[in-house]
Amino acid sequence: MRGDCDCDFRGAPFLTTTPAQIDLWRASPSEHQRLEFKEAKNQLGNQTLFEYCVAIANEGGGTLLLGIADKPPRPIVGTQAFPNPIKTAETIFERVGFRVDIEEVAHPEGRVVVFHIPGRPRGIAYHLEGKYLMRSGESTVPMSEDQLRKIFAEGEPDWLEEHSKTGLDAQRVVELLDTQRFFELLTTPYPTERSGVIERLLNERLIDDVDGSYCIRRLGAILLAKRLEEFPDLARKAIRIVVYNGTSKLDTKLDRRGVKGYAVGFQGIVSAISGQLPQNEIIEDALRKEVKLVPEIVIRELVANALIHQDFRIGGTSVMVEIYSNRLEITNPGEPVVPVERFIDGYQSRNERLATLMRRMGICEEKSSGIDRVIQAAEFYQLPAPDFRVGYQSTIVTIFGPIKFEEMGREDRVRACYQHCALKWVMSEKMTNQSLRERFNLPEEKSTIASQIIAATIDSGLIKPDEKVGTSKKYARYLPFWA
């Protein structure tokens, strides 16, 4: 990790952090990957310091401030840590292999030590004693295989932008790609001549003209292929739908793969999944009627998310939809870029061009509203809260069929409470005992049960009381832990 460097730590770095700048940082709504506060009134362990330097550098660089409480309003407590910044900078460089500039700032309320941590170079992840670190909440944790793979692939060509088929003429291109459906999805008239079709595909960078013949990029094929099996490097990326008899994998009823590209075949995929869902009989307005286990809007949003956010570099696997008698599970290759507990409010696309094109074709939105709609639908249809979790090199979402409140376990209720609280927050509202009762369809006389669920969710560290309303139980409001 060490390399040749002409770093000179004898002179003070050309940095001018002012007390006013520190006050601006203190006013930040929350800590994030590029900003960390520590009280460290007397000292911060060297190992902890090294770990934070590596973790913050791996996430793009940022600022670590000592002598400031990490909870709002973040009073300055002052610190005696690292009295010799030049010596500390030398020690950091010896241990982690990159330079960190350090400042002492004489704030009117106390001494603050500021560490300016640079971001890692492209395609390189820093490590400390073999541990590749990142931040998680108020601590550092090892980076996942998925995150490391993404960093190491930064210097490589984008997998989706590489060519899947080469040496084609115009006729062969339109034979392989469903260009008619492509123009329909873009709500654009189909060109009267084939040259107009080719020109549009070239402009969208879905194909390339190389020495007078055409090459289809993987992105073009994965979206528009009439038959994915015509593209050997993409055939295994077709979505797989498996239906089971019962609640386990022991008895498989159906196992099939998608045929078309994601965009041109999306509606067919959604219809195929919806057609295989079990039906439940409910009574509404004194009439019996059959309803699907899961609403179609939920299927649509989750399948689109899985297709877009999968890690295409993981071989031998694809997006999988598994249908049981009591639930629906959707798995996509690759661990999530955004932590699962931040799916409701956060958004970062793994495959930006794929996401942009699917948005333009009306299949998804690039503003984090898909998961919001899934949560809203679960509440509207009185379903248990969806379960988002990380598996081995995969992201798994489970949507449960209807369950009576009395049959929900503690984990189900806490998960629903957190998601309800987060959903309220992104809608510029705040959760209350009443809103939670409405989510669970509980009468007012069961407000004590709602209070118990709220308390359990607070104990789990997922929500917190809104301090602005004081200690009044009557007017209590609650926020997600990251708000």
Per-residue pLDDT of the chain (483 residues; tens, 9 = 90+): 444 444 555 444 456 789 999 998 998 877 777 889 999 999 999 999 999 999 999 988 999 999 999 888 899 999 999 999 999 999 999 999 999 999 999 999 999 999 999 999 888 899 998 899 988 777 888 988 778 887 887 767 789 999 999 999 999 999 999 999 999 999 999 999 999 999 999 999 999 999 999 999 999 999 999 999 999 999 999 999 999 999 999 999 999 999 999 999 999 999 999 999 887 555 455 444 556 788 888 899 999 999 999 999 888 899 999 999 999 999 999 988 777 887 887 666 778 899 999 999 988 765 556 788 899 988 988 899 999 999 888 999 999 988 899 999 999 999 999 999 999 998 899 999 999 999 999 999 999 999 999 999 999 999 999 888 766 666 799 999 887
Number of domains in the chain: 4
Residue 312, beta-bridge partner list:
none
> What does pTM read for this prediction?
0.73
Phi, psi of 203, rounded to the nearest 5 degrees = -65, -35
Predicted pLDDT at 90: 94
The closest alpha carbon to 359, from 158, 186, 161, belongs to 186
Whether 396 and 249 share a structural domain: yes
Whether 257 and 350 share a structural domain: yes
The closest alpha carbon to 13, from 156, 117, 149, 152, belongs to 117
Helix/strand/coil for 250: coil
Which amino acid is it at 371?
A: I
87, 113, 143: which is the final residue of a domain? Answer: 143
CA 329 to CA 320: how far, in whole Å? Answer: 8
Q: Which residues of 330-348 are buried (b: 16+ CB within 10 A; e: fewer)?
A: bbbbbbbbbebbbbbbbbe
Other CB atoms within 10 A of residue 355 CB: 21
- Show the CA angle centred on residue 411, arms to residues 346 and 332, nearest 5°: 45
Kindly state whether residue 441 falls inside one of the protein's structural domains.
yes
CATH number at residue 124: 3.30.950.30
CATH number at residue 329: 3.30.565.60
Whether 242 and 217 share a structural domain: no
Kindly state whether residue 152 falls inside one of the protein's structural domains.
no
* Cβ-Cβ contacts under 8 Å for 211 (sequence gap 6 or more): none
Phi, psi of 32, rounded to the nearest 5 degrees = -150, -175
Kindly state whether residue 154 falls inside one of the protein's structural domains.
no
Q: Do the beta carbons of residue 213 and residue 168 sit within 8 Å?
A: yes
Predicted pLDDT at 104: 93
Whether 193 and 294 share a structural domain: no
Whether 413 and 354 share a structural domain: no
Whether 297 and 199 share a structural domain: no
CA 465 to CA 480: how far, in whole Å? Answer: 9
CA 476 to CA 275: how far, in whole Å? Answer: 44
Distance (Å) of CA 232 to CA 163, 229, 261, 315: 12, 6, 13, 12
Predicted pLDDT at 347: 65
Whether 133 and 193 share a structural domain: no
Kindly state whether residue 148 falls inside one of the protein's structural domains.
no
| Residues, the chain | 483
Q: Do the beta carbons of residue 420 and residue 426 sit within 8 Å?
A: no
210, 233, 256: which is the final residue of a domain? Answer: 233
Whether 192 and 293 share a structural domain: no
The closest alpha carbon to 23, from 93, 88, 86, 107, belongs to 107
CATH number at residue 415: 1.10.10
Kindly state whether residue 2 falls inside one of the protein's structural domains.
no
Q: Do the beta carbons of residue 397 and residue 330 sit within 8 Å?
A: yes
In the 8-state DSSP scheme, what is residue 229? G
Distance of CA 263 to the CA centre of its chain: 22
Whether 242 and 373 share a structural domain: yes
75, 110, 143: which is the final residue of a domain? Answer: 143
* Cβ-Cβ contacts under 8 Å for 170 (sequence gap 6 or more): 194, 195, 198, 214
Kindly state whether residue 126 falls inside one of the protein's structural domains.
yes
Whether 369 and 430 share a structural domain: no
Whether 414 and 464 share a structural domain: yes
The closest alpha carbon to 186, from 358, 369, 355, 351, belongs to 358
Kindly state whether residue 8 falls inside one of the protein's structural domains.
no
Kindly state whether residue 64 falls inside one of the protein's structural domains.
yes
Token representation of residue 461: 């560290």
Whether 123 and 263 share a structural domain: no
DSSP state string for 117-160? EPPPPTT---EETTEEEEEETTEEEEPPHHHHHHHHTTTSPPGG
- Taking every pair of Cα atoms in the chain, the longest distance, rounded to a whole number of angstroms, is 83
Q: Do the beta carbons of residue 241 and residue 250 sit within 8 Å?
A: no
List the domain range (segments joined by +) for residue 87: 19-143
